[in-house]
Amino acid sequence: MQTKLTLRVEEELIERAKTYSERVGKSVSQLFADYIKMLPEATESRPKNPSLTPIVRSMKGVLRGLQVDEKDYRRHLEEKHR
């Protein structure tokens, strides 16, 4: 069941939220709901890596098992910026 919620927020933040919501095609309410869904449940203990954002945390370990080093990364950057 959905219900209405009133928030008091600085005007600048409201404008940023509206601009972003138009750009991504979601309502401000949906952006707020999506953000709240990313927060840990009240019953959960602290996140394992509290300094990592949810997006970065989800990417952790994706290169596990690959043989990638600094030399590979530099080569990638050189090719990318040619």
- Tens digits of pLDDT across the chain (82 residues): 889 999 999 999 999 999 999 999 999 999 999 888 888 777 656 656 667 888 888 888 888 888 888 899 899 999 999 8
pTM score, whole prediction? 0.50
pLDDT for the residue numbered 66: 86
Q: What is the dihedral angle through the alpha carbons of 37, 39, 44, 47, rounded to the nearest 10 degrees?
A: 140
Q: What is the pLDDT of residue 49?
A: 60
**CA–CA distance, 70 with 75 (Å, rounded to integer):** 9
CB 18 within 8 A of CB 28: yes
